[in-house]
Amino acid sequence: MHWIPGPTQRKKEVTHLQMVRGLTEVMKPENLNRNEVKDVVLPKKRVYKPRLKGRKPHKQEEKALQRCIINHLRLHDCICGKVKVVGAYWGRGYIKDKLLFLGVPDILCFHPGTGMWWIEVKTEKGALRPKQKTFQGLCSVAGVKHIVARNLTEVERIYKP
C-alpha cells in the first residue's frame, strides 16, 4: 500500500513520530496476520561507541562559578550579568574584531549601596592574562571597583560595605 501524490500534492517527509505511530498500528495483534508486516523495515538502534583516542570534554568550572556568583548577587539585590566579548570563526581560525575592548571582565554588577563593580571570575588555578591586568590597572586609575573572584566569599564585599 503506497501513497502516490496527485498533481497538486507533493510528497512530504515522514517524521519520526509518524513512523512510530505507523509501526505501532502495524504491530497490533489483529494486524499481524496480514501481509503488510513483511514490508515494514524497523530502524536500527544506534549504539554509542567512544573513540579510541577521543578527548574528554573539560569541565567548565569557571562558567559554573560565574553562574553561582550571578545568582548569589541577584539574591542580594544586585543587578548583574555576563559581559560578552565575542569574535567570529573564519575558516579554521577565530578572529576578534579590532574594535573590541580586550580584557573586559566576565561580570558587570550594580549595587544600590556600593555602586558599580567589575568582576573577573577565575578558578583557583587560573591567572590573569596581560590584557586583563591592563584592564584592572585602568579601573584602579579611573577609580572603578574591580574584583578578581575565585569563590563566593570574595564577592560578599559588594553588598557588605
**Is residue 129 a part of any domain in this protein?**
yes
Residue 55 is assigned to a structural domain of this protein: no
* Domain assignment present for 132: yes
Residue 154 in domain? yes
Inter-residue long-range contacts of 30-37, CB under 8 Å, 24+ positions, other chains counted:
36/1
- Which letter, b or e, does each residue of 79-102 get, where b requires 16 or more Cβ atoms within 10 Å of its Cβ? ebeeeeeeeeeeeeeeeeeeeeee
In a domain? residue 122: yes
pLDDT, one tens digit per residue, over 14-71 is: 676 677 777 676 666 666 555 555 555 666 677 878 778 877 777 888 999 999 999 9
What CATH number should be reported for the domain holding residue 138? 3.40.1350.10
Residue 40 falls inside a structural domain:
no
**Residue 46 placed within a domain:** no
pTM for this prediction: 0.62
What nine digits make up the cell of 156? 560578599
Q: Stretch 131-135: mean pLDDT, rounded?
A: 93
Domains of the chain: total: 1
